[in-house]
Structure 1
Amino acid sequence: METTIVKAYGAAASDADLNQMDIQRRVVTAKDVEIEILYCGVCHSDLHTARNDWGGTVYPAVPGHEIVGKVTKVGSEVKRFKVGELVGVGCLVDSCRTCDSCKKDLEQYCLTGFTGTYNGKEKYLGTQTFGGYSEKIVVDDHFVLKVPGNLDAAGVAPLLCAGITTWSPLKHWGVKKGSKVAVVGLGGLGHMAIKLAKGLGASVTLFSRSEGKTEDAKKLGADAVVISTDPGQMKSVRGKFDLIIDTVPYVHDVNPYVGTLTINGTLVLVGYLGELDPMLNSVPMIMGRKSVSGSLIGGIAETQEMLDFCGKHNIVSDIEIIKMQDINQAYERMIKSDVKYRFVIDMASL
């Protein structure tokens, strides 16, 4: 298969800084869309992959799965997109499309495993996939999304991971006007959970460990802030919430939050992967049919639904724009949570 050379930024090894490199992209096939990348959001998964924190990274690794850009070419069978259109690509660039999950528009749960935008398997070239820290990308048209023209393009980029990761559970658990939703953690995911839950008409509370986040949370649309380290405040919200979205990316005690769920309420983990420590106490769960669940990004139809919703309600991420050359410093700042609330790379800098 024919390829073209594309300028990118990536890591050559787990202990190496990201640097400029050349990668190969396939030439557009009948079903493909070629996209000139304008903006790419920076996600914690990018850093974990670049540094092989989860194991299994194939080098060189080019991260980036919050991509917004312009269509520059379309394949002969592509009907949905035209050259010049503003489009997005999220965490998925392929799946089997025939399993039960894919047939239900749940490509993120593809039973044979979806193809990630980076560090996945490039089916045409037999190499790893390369992400959005690059000049352009070629993606099967099924996995390309239409971006509403009224939204700030840079602010849209994080919707494609941080946005859909919080939208999917809000929709799955039926959040609507009058629902009571709480959010644990105020970062890239947490700030989107607040905005989207508020957009859906819910009453929204932020759980925070410190008073310092109160003003920011209320600016984002939170109705209340509960300090989770204050026993009195925690007691005041016992049995209150229909849904809690827990975005904290490291191991922490979720038991205190379970007690704040109403009967049939659910706490959904979207930030942390791994074993819970301390363990879950099942008593409050059994006594109120409460659930602790998990959720992963969203399917393509659901992501498009979210983008359309954001277009209608004028919702984008709060971002700090950086140059591609500043990515290594951005990673260090991200580890310290020193960003409100998502870095976005202006790809013109590449």
Structure 2
Amino acid sequence: MTFHPDADQRALIEDAFSRPLDELLPLARLHAAEAAEPWEAIAGLGIFGVAADPDIGGVGLGPVEEALVAMELGRRLAGAQILTTLMAYHCADEALRARLVTGEARVAPATLTGGSLCVIDGDGADHVLLRRDGRASLVPIGALADRKTVDDHHWTATLADAGQAPAGLVWADDVALTRVRLIEAAALSGMAACATTMAVDYAKLREQFGHAIGGFQAVKHQCANMAMAAMAARDQTSFASVALEQGRADAAFQVESALLLAIDAALANSRRNVQVHGGIGFSEEADPHLVVKRAHLLIEAAGGADAAADRVAGAEAAMIRQG
């Protein structure tokens, strides 16, 4: 039985995506006044078409490679639109898929509370991936009304056709939702790894009482706990992607478990990273708060930890009933 991506799959992602992303998405970009992501360059790498059919310009790879790419995006704290556009491919019709693959179409995340949508990172998007009660639906920007700006990038709106909200929306099926949650789990596990690397690097650099703080037991244990949490999230997500690719009966359960574990790891590691950095960890000019914000944003869009835990319990109960 295969439990992890093989060496060839990892090498492919390293050469084709990881190294170019080092140059395209340095963390320093997030401190710029206008931190716009290099959209065309990212689309040119084929990221939005990793799992797409080559007939529409996709790369034609499977869930394992897509999860590995999402991990790399998470490590670099990729913007919400990048991750959501990658997810949206699995919820789109054929015409929209062709536009998503090339980066022509852009999708922002949105949540629906009552009759009001909260759209995150909506600049330039022509669709939103609307999430509610564990479901997902792609909605054109043109179907939104009563737009109210919260700040430069985020806004609230309502559905223009009241008959659409929410019963008339076309919701993604379970297959698409499983792929969306795999991408979310992978991105969050990448964020957990980002926080770990950030904390360890700082613990080696920062000195107190004439010694690097990484040599003190309290800090050392924090970093070790972060490494274990990030590794557990990464390994469960990797196994879930393999289970999905192999068509295993427990694939959906493994994906849901991966998302729950990745949520816990991203939250815990982003907080521990702030603690390791001490007072500077709370400052705007330092990096730790960036991981905290990006992790919370993605978790909120995914529906939160409680909903993920409920789905894990439901998937486990379903497997037990099936014997």
Provide the TM-score with structure 1 as the length reference.
0.22
Provide the TM-score with structure 2 as the length reference.
0.23
Question: Higher helix fraction: Structure 1 or Structure 2?
Answer: 2
Question: Higher strand fraction: Structure 1 or Structure 2?
Answer: 1
